[in-house]
Structure 1
Amino acid sequence: MTTIVRGRGARSNEVGRYEAFQREAFDDGWGDETDEAPKLRTTLSPEAARTIITRNDSPDVGFDRSINPYRGCEHGCIYCYARPAHAYMGLSPGLDFESKLFFKPEAARLLEAELSKPRYKPGYIHIGGNTDPYQPQERTTGLTRQIIDVLGRFNHPFSIITKSALILRDLDLLAPLAEQNLVRVAISVTTLDRALARSMEPRAATPDRRIAAIRALTAAGVPTVVMFAPAIPSLNDHEMEAVLERAAQAGAIGAGYVALRLPLEIKDLFQQWLMTDHPDRAQRVMSLVRQMRGGKDYDSDWRQRMKGQGPVADLMSQRFRAAKRRYGLDKPLPALNLGLFKVPPKAGGQQDLFT
């Protein structure tokens, strides 16, 4: 049973794949058709993390370490590939993922401890990826800002991906680091259509605010790329060229894209959303998605999971490469500087005797 909850992306809250029992809502006939869906309150709970840097060896990711200060994301993007991770918490990848959030209050302290280890070797860290580091809760917790402050004190290179204009709050930290080639930002712009964005990414910044964020970041000297992700055939893929053009006009220096990925529970959540919000094109969208995935809803093979395969995927890739060339977004990105990393002296240490 699907339920439209105002301001939320998922249309159900089915339990995760690890639960012994399944719950399913149904209409028993006692409800009133005029009844409104219940309001969903967002909760934020502390998570007792022992480490803050997550490492991976995925050949198609592009970085081997990342930081995610939050688990779950209030933006509620229906396509988010991080949703299935909530099942590890005994929660639903559906509405729970966007309303029952967790934060790591010791993130900055843990990061400083890890970077200070004698055997630590720097390699650029990516902030975000499994959650948006600038989701609404960041306004009050300030965790991402604390993490950036630590990385800055260690002269440690890093990148950030977000779809929030809240990143502009931290320009005072980011701009000086950009001068030393220590930071790069990616802004995700999935559509320029406000109505589609509100449906698909209900609590994320509007498309215009994301473009404005690209403009402000680049004006401050922070190298910024645009991510058109995910590219969804017959839903938003026709906007690919327009998004890249607007981003280039705002000062973006590069671009990337990822074809829609529907692993595990996301395939059902996405199709429920299609049937409620876009019933006129739901069958066509899924038909094209399956044509990109060897006839399946999703194929996790590392060689093609980010871009897909077949004629539909090939055409999408060709269009993207052509648009990058057309708008000057195909130049090599400047490498982040690994040579400046240094563990700063601790307050009260012996070096303070000479200051």
Structure 2
Amino acid sequence: MSLVERAGLSVLQKFDPETAHGLALRALSAGLVPLPGPVSSPRLGVRLAGLDLPNPIGLAAGFDKNGTAMGPLARAGFGFIELGGITPRPQVGNDKPRLWRLSRDRAVINRFGFNNDGAAAMAIRLSARPRGAVIGLNLGANKDSADRAADYAEVLRICGANVDFATVNVSSPNTEKLRDLQGPAALRALLAGVLEVRAKIARRVPIFLKIAPDLSDAELAAIAEVAMDMGVDGIVATNTTLDREGLSSRKAQNAGGLSGAPLFEKSTRVLARLSRDTAGNVPLIGVGGIGSAEQAYEKIRAGATVVQLYSAMVFEGLSLAARVAQGLDRLLERDGFANVSDAVGTGRDDWL
């Protein structure tokens, strides 16, 4: 991390977290943040669900909910970017405060509740998206919707023409009863609606499914079965957790989803179990607690084809993506892997 970035983070830490997040996005959009450009190598290039990525380090959903900083983010060293979550209609989300830093735990708690500008606004921004970048969209449902399952298909219908992938997010803990959609019957019906809309888009858009870390082995096995039966293109493991075990920060008991360092082991165990349950037949996107190249490597060795990060940037800055990608390249070289795909799942049994 440069001295300039360190100073910028120090300033942002003086603001409440949601204000700091907004300031960071504005600084990024205004060109005030140094950006490394693309980061790639023969070892880092990877194919995910038909998408060619320069490296396997992605930006998780939530950082740029409304697609206001796509251009700069495309030059920030990520191999792919996920925007959103987006609901059909604009939504203000839950009451503030709804975002907390847990500095002692290197963690974040949020209970945003899908605050966003809505699908129509996102579609306009996506129509002017930067070309050459791989950009996906996290699909959500309005809190007051009479048919939440239909909302996911509706967002894809409105925005799908200009995204490279779409993620069905049924795992946010901040919309009441949303996680009920992870049950097999409800999930099959929801995915059927999304896939029906996908079939009408001129080019094939990969559909990923984002799941919670707070699931039993039986629930994970059921989700794996549904994903394979329905032809889902990938599973994102995992979203935030409701678990608070082992935290030391004063704000640890605030309501919402916990992300960051404490989630790493829980989410990686879920990832490894999904890798076992799908027998490598569904690409996995590893998310949760990644703050270093070593942790990204652990996710890949546990079964992830690619990974995503977000919360660690609160403490490490935007340059983290490039640093993780470059460090991963060195780790792959050290261990004799010609390409990142060769390392996928090689350490899975360590997490089972």
Same fold (TM over 0.5): no
**TM-score bucket (shorter structure):** 0.3 to 0.5
Question: Which structure: larger Rg?
Answer: 1
TM-score, normalised via structure 1 length: 0.41
TM-score, normalised via structure 2 length: 0.41
Higher helix share: 2
